[in-house]
């Protein structure tokens, strides 16, 4: 668990802007590298030991410093690192904007804590089950990366964004548990819990906002992409510490000793929920409400021309209707 003090906040910000931040854009997706490559400032922003204004100001100062540094005589390695720094800080600064955006979303739609912010998705049928939910929350779902992430979160209060998204999509799609059933147990685990961000992201990952591409993160694919050596799995699921990585990636078809089998067939279950989500997105009501959502809650930049500064009419990109199993 992070220390929550002003001194710890300043130390974390300083280390991010002077050392760790250069790896931000390339390493925040992996649960193994995100603990150091991530800013780790979300907890301090949530508790008020660091203000958003201060964080934004110091990031802007560091960006300006990098841009002002002469690179005419610098080595190729130095120039490459400077470019990586700028890329990472731009990415982080964008997330500071998103943070305020999602907090404002709750301010303007406080009912989203209790019901889907998009009315078209208020009748999705889930299969809430106390035993399944309990297995998911206790890290005994029989899905190695899911179990590792839940246990890690319970012990440290932190998990990187991609793994948070995977937990929610697996719970809502793969296990058919409603986002309402998941949001409070998760909220109690996040040391950086912020209501506006939490409720917004739970609904977004559950696919009930209607204006974002719905990605159902495959726990198996995420092992291949972000934990190929099963490092985080071995760290947080001691039952699998001595099991070969190849066997771990076949958890759905082989016995892994005392480790439980998957509580549900997440691919079969996910298809049932995805079919419902897709049907709503294609319906007349779904498209109509999506236009309203994009107008009222969209975070996309407005486009302007020299002749007119009026915002263009919000549109739903057909590519956003894609549902994949990432």
Cβ–Cβ under 8 Å, residues 127 and 273: no
Q: Please check whether residue 140 lies inside any domain of the structure.
A: yes
Q: Note the pLDDT of residue 151.
A: 98
286-324 confidence digits (pLDDT tens):
999 999 999 988 866 655 545 444 444 444 443 333 444
pLDDT number for residue 80: 82
- Which of residues 207 and 67 earns the better pLDDT score? 207
CB 55 within 8 A of CB 45: yes
Averaged over 263-269, what is the pLDDT?
95
**Residue 292 belongs to some domain of the structure:** yes
- What pLDDT shows up at residue 309? 44
Do residues 101 and 225 share a domain? Answer: no
Question: What's the pLDDT at 319?
Answer: 38
Same domain, yes or no, for 218 and 302? yes
Task: Classify residue 321 by burial, with Cβ atoms within 10 Å: 0-12, 13-18, 19+.
Answer: middle
Both 268 and 161 in one domain: the answer is: yes
Say how many domains are in the chain: 2
For residues 179 and 318, membership in a common domain is answered with yes
Question: Which pLDDT score, from 0 to 100, does residue 325 have?
Answer: 44
171 shares a domain with 285: yes
Q: Supply the range of the domain harboring residue 50.
A: 6-108
Looking at per-residue pLDDT, the higher value among 71 and 151 belongs to: 151
Which pLDDT tens digit goes with each residue over 204-225? 999 999 998 899 999 999 999 9
120 and 91 assigned to the same domain: no
62-88 mean pLDDT = 80
User: What DSSP string runs through 192-255?
Assistant: T--HHHHHHHHHHHHT-SSSS-EEE--HHHHHHHH-TT-HHHHHH-GGGTTS-HHHHTTTTTS-
Whether residue 1 is contained in a domain is answered as no
Average pLDDT over residues 277-288: 96
CATH number at residue 260: 1.10.579.10
* pLDDT over 60 (residue 264): yes
Average pLDDT of the chain is: 90
pLDDT at site 71: 62
Last residue of a domain, one of 108, 130, 162: 108
What gap in Å lies between CA 49 and CA 119, rounded to an integer?
A: 37
């Amino acid at each position: 668990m992070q220390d929550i003090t002003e001194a710890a906040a300043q130390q974390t910000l300083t280390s991010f802007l002077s050392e760790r931040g250069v790896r931000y854009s390339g390493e925040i997706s992996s649960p193994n590298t995100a603990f150091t490559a991530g800013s780790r400032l979300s907890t301090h922003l949530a508790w008020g030991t660091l203000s958003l204004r201060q964080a934004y100001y110091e990031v802007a100062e560091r960006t300006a410093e990098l841009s002002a540094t002469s690179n005419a005589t610098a080595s190729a390695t130095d120039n490459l690192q400077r470019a990586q720094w700028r890329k990472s800080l731009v990415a982080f600064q964008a997330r500071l904007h998103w943070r305020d955006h999602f907090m404002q979303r709750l301010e303007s739609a406080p009912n989203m804590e209790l019901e889907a912010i998009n009315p078209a998705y208020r009748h999705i049928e889930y299969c809430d089950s106390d035993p399944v939910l309990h297995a998911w929350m206790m890290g005994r779902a029989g899905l190695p990366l899911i179990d590792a992430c839940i246990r890690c979160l319970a012990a440290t209060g932190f998990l990187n964004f991609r793994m948070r998204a995977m937990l929610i999509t697996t719970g809502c799609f793969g296990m058919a548990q409603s986002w309402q059933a998941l949001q409070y147990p998760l909220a109690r685990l996040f040391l950086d819990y912020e209501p506006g961000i939490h409720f917004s992201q739970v609904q977004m990952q559950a696919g009930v906002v209607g204006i974002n591409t719905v990605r159902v993160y495959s726990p198996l694919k995420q092992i291949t992409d972000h934990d190929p050596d099963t490092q985080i799995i071995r760290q947080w699921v001691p039952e699998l510490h001595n099991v070969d990585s190849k066997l771990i990636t076949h958890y759905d078809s082989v016995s892994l000793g005392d480790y439980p089998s998957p509580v549900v067939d997440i691919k079969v279950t996910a298809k049932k929920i995805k079919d419902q989500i897709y049907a709503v997105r294609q319906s007349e009501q779904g498209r109509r409400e999506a236009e309203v959502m994009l107008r009222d809650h969209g975070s996309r930049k407005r486009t302007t021309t020299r002749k007119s500064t009026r915002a263009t009419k919000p549109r739903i990109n057909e590519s956003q209707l894609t549902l994949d199993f990432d």
